[in-house]
Structure 1
Amino acid sequence: MMRREFLRGTFGVAGASLLSEVATGLSGGGAVVAAPKSKITGGTIDLREFHRMRRFADLSMGRIAYVERGKGPVALFLHGFPLNGYQWRGALERLSPYRRCIAADFMGLGYSEVPENADISIPAQADMLAALLDHLKIDEVDLVANDSGGLTAQLFVARHGSRVRSLLLTNCDVDENSPPPAFLPVIQLGHQPGAADKFIAPQVADKNFARTDKGLGIAYTHPAQLTDEAIDCYFGPLVSSPARKEQFSRFLLALEPNLLVPIRSQLKEFRKPVHIVWATDDIFFGVEWAEWLDRTLPGSRGVRRVEGAKLFFPEEMPDVIAEEAKALWGVSRSPGGSL
C-alpha cells in the first residue's frame, strides 16, 4: 500500500499498517549501530520536573518557553513536529555536565505563547532562536536537532551561521526532501478547517490510538513506551484554545514550501564540525538524505546509522545522542573532565 494512502488512514480514511514498507538493508559508508533495546528514558527530568524547569523569555515575537540545565558553553536543542522541548529530557540529563543545555519550544508548538497572528514560518522560527540567544546573552551554540527542528537548524545556519559552533543533525528535512512526500497528507490538513481537531484531538482523547502506527506511534521505535502524560504534554497545548488550534494549522502550512534548496550554497560553505546520526526505519527521511548531508557539508564526519530505529529515536535513545554529542564536542567521557 502506498504511504500516502496509509497516512490518509490516520484521519479516518481506509488505511493499514506501513511497517512492512519500511526500507531495510540500506547501504553506504559510515558507522552502523543497532537500535538499543533500552526504551524511552525515565530519568530525573520527569514531567513534573520538566514543568518546574520551564522559563519564559519575553521577546518581541512573544513569550518563548524553554528549559535549561547545566553550565558552560551552550548547546541548543531543537525539537520535532508536533513535539516540544520535553523530547530532549534524556539528552539534557546526560549532557548537562558538559554544556549549558537549552531546549526551546517553537512558536505555535509546545508552551511558547505568541500572538494569535504571529509569524510562525520557519525563517521566523530561526530568527526567534537568534533573538532568544540575544536575550540570554549567548554568542554561539552547539546545535542539536531532529525532524522539523533540523529544517530550522539548517535555516539558522544559513541566516546566523557565525553563531553555530557545531551541528548534530538527526533525521530531518534535507534539500529536495522537504517536505517529504509521506508527510504531504498531514500538511494538506492545514488547508482545511479544524486540522487540530482532526489530527491532534483524537489522540488526546484516546492515548492507545496515539500509540498506534496511525498516530504519533508511527514515529517511535517503541511506541508502547509513550506514557499518557507525555502525549498530553505534547498535544495538550495544541488544542488548549481556538487560537492555538489555528496556530497549529498555520505551523503545518509553514512546512509546505521547500526552504532548503535555495540555501544549498550556504550549507556548502558551512565548515564547522558536523555529526549526522540517522535512524534507518524512518518512513519520512531515508538514509540517502543523510548521505546527501555528508557529501554536502564540508565539516561532516560521516553518518552513524541507528538500525531499526525511527524518526523520534533521540527521545527514546538519549545515550546515542549523548555519545555522538560528546564526540563532536571533544569532551571527556566522564563529568568533570577537561573540555
Structure 2
Amino acid sequence: MIDSTTTARASWRAADLGARREISLPQGRMAVFESGTGRPIVFVHGLLVNANLWRGVVPRLAGEFHCVTLDMPFGSHTLSMPGADLTPPGMAELVCTAIEALELGPVVLVGNDSGGALCQLVATSRPDLVQRLVLTSCDAYENMPPLLVRAIRLTARIPGGLGLLMSALRLPWVRNSPIAFGALSIRPIEPRAAESYVLPAGIARDIRDDLRRALFGQHRRHTLGAAAHFAEFDRPVLIAWSGRDPIFPMAHALRLATDFPHARLEVIPEARGFSPEDEPVRLATAIAEFAAASRSAHVR
C-alpha cells in the first residue's frame, strides 16, 4: 500500500509554476499551471519529468509573460490518460488541444527533450497555433528515441522491468548516475523535483501504463517527418542548445538552425540536456529576449 506521504511527494509541484488547473480534453484530464500575464508562453517537457522541469524558468518570465506549463503524460504525471494516443503525433495533438482549450491563440512554444520533438510536430502541423518556437536540447531527425530511452525501452520489455526500474530510481545515487538523470543534468536535481519525476510511475500502474505507451510510440519517422516541413515554417525560431550535452548532439542544433528559415542558435554553455535544471537563469533570459522581440521580426 502506498502511504499518503509518498503520494504527496509524487504530486508535488513547485509554487513558482503558478496556479494549478485541471482541463478536460478529448484525450482525458490534464493538469496545467499558469503564472503571469501578457504574451502566452507554453512549456512542454519530455519523458520522465513533469512541469517541475520549468520551475526555475517560469518565475523569471511571469512578470512579463503569461506562462503556461503542461503536465504531459510522459510517466511523471498524476492524471492518467488510459486509451489516449500517446505516440508523438498523438501527444502533439494533446498540446494543440490544450492550447485551444485554454484559448491562448498563437503562443511562444518552448520544448525540451522529447517535448521538443512534440513542439516540432506542432509547429509543422499546426503553425496557426505557434507564434514563435523555442527548441532546447531535444530529440530531432534520426535521434528519436535517443540511446538512453532505447535502454529504458529494453527494460520495459521485461515483465515487471519498468516497475523495478522506477523503484531503483527512487534511490538518489541511482537517479543521479550517468545512466539516468546524471546524463541529462550536470548538477543533482533538487530532491523534491527528482522525486516527483520518478515516483508517479513507480507507485501507480495506470501512470506506468501511460509511460510504457509513450516509450514504445517513439520512432525517428516522426521527427524526420516533421523535419521535412521545417522550410515551410515562416515564424522565428530560437535553438537554445546545451553546450555540454552527451545525448542531443550539437550537430543537430546546427542542422535545425539551418533548416528552419528564420532561426538562430544560442548555446547554453554549462548545461546538459536538462538546461532548465542546469541553467534556468541563462535559459529564461534567452527566452525573454526572443519572446519580447517584435512580432514581425525574423531572426537569423
Flag whether TM exceeds 0.5 (same fold).
yes
Ranges in structure 1 where 5+ consecutive residues have no aligned partner: 1-45, 333-339
Distance of 1:138 and 1:97 partners within structure 2: 18
- Secondary structure at the aligned position of 1:258 is classed as helix
Displacement, 1:51? 8.5
| Per-residue deviation, residues 155-181 of structure 1 (Å, max 9, x unmatched) | 111221111000111111111222234
Q: Percent same amino acid at aligned positions?
A: 26
Change in 2 beyond 3 A, CA 1:273/1:316:
same
**Residue aligning to 1:281:** 244
Change in 2 beyond 3 A, CA 1:112/1:61:
farther
| Per-residue deviation, residues 306-327 of structure 1 (Å, max 9, x unmatched) | 3342111222211112211122
Distance of 2:161 and 2:143 partners within structure 1: 23
**Residue aligning to 2:174:** 209
Distance of 1:115 and 1:280 partners within structure 2: 35
Q: Which amino acid aligns with 2:282?
A: V
User: Which residue of 33, 43, 48 corresponds with 1:82?
Assistant: 48
Q: Which amino acid aligns with 1:312?
A: F
Change in 2 beyond 3 A, CA 1:258/1:199:
farther
> Contact (CA 8 Å) 2:73, 2:211: kept in 1 or not?
no
Q: Which amino acid aligns with 2:228?
A: S
| Per-residue deviation, residues 166-207 of structure 1 (Å, max 9, x unmatched) | 011111111122223454222323333234323221111x12
Displacement, 1:331? 5.4
> Contact (CA 8 Å) 1:78, 1:144: kept in 2 or not?
yes
Q: Which has the larger radius of gyration?
A: 1
User: Which residue of 60, 78, 84 corresponds with 1:118?
Assistant: 84
Distance of 1:182 and 1:243 partners within structure 2: 23
> Contact (CA 8 Å) 1:191, 1:249: kept in 2 or not?
no
Change in 2 beyond 3 A, CA 1:240/1:188:
same
**Residue aligning to 2:272:** 310
Distance of 2:159 and 2:197 partners within structure 1: 21
Displacement, 1:62? 0.8
In the superposition, the TM-score normalised over structure 2's length comes to 0.87
Distance of 1:198 and 1:136 partners within structure 2: 37
**Residue aligning to 2:114:** 148
Distance of 2:33 and 2:289 partners within structure 1: 24
> Contact (CA 8 Å) 2:175, 2:181: kept in 1 or not?
yes
Change in 2 beyond 3 A, CA 1:245/1:145:
same
Distance of 2:87 and 2:252 partners within structure 1: 23
Ranges in structure 2 where 5+ consecutive residues have no aligned partner: 1-11, 295-300
Q: Does 1:71 find its partner at 2:37?
A: yes
User: Which residue of 185, 207, 221 corresponds with 2:186?
Assistant: 221
| Per-residue deviation, residues 190-245 of structure 1 (Å, max 9, x unmatched) | 333234323221111x123222223322211112xx23211211112122322222
Distance of 1:58 and 1:293 partners within structure 2: 34
| Per-residue deviation, residues 5-28 of structure 1 (Å, max 9, x unmatched) | xxxxxxxxxxxxxxxxxxxxxxxx
Aligned length: 283
Change in 2 beyond 3 A, CA 1:213/1:243:
same
User: Which residue of 267, 281, 295 corresponds with 1:319?
Assistant: 281
Change in 2 beyond 3 A, CA 1:157/1:117:
same
**Residue aligning to 1:230:** 193
- Secondary structure at the aligned position of 1:272 is classed as coil
Q: Which amino acid aligns with 1:319?
A: V
Q: Which amino acid aligns with 2:96?
A: A
Does 1 or 2 have the higher relative contact order (CA < 8 Å, sep 6+)? 1
Q: Does 1:159 find its partner at 2:125?
A: yes
- Secondary structure at the aligned position of 1:298 is classed as coil
Change in 2 beyond 3 A, CA 1:194/1:258:
farther
> Contact (CA 8 Å) 1:98, 1:331: kept in 2 or not?
no
In the superposition, the TM-score normalised over structure 1's length comes to 0.78
Distance of 2:217 and 2:91 partners within structure 1: 10
Q: Does 1:134 find its partner at 2:97?
A: no
Distance of 1:69 and 1:274 partners within structure 2: 23
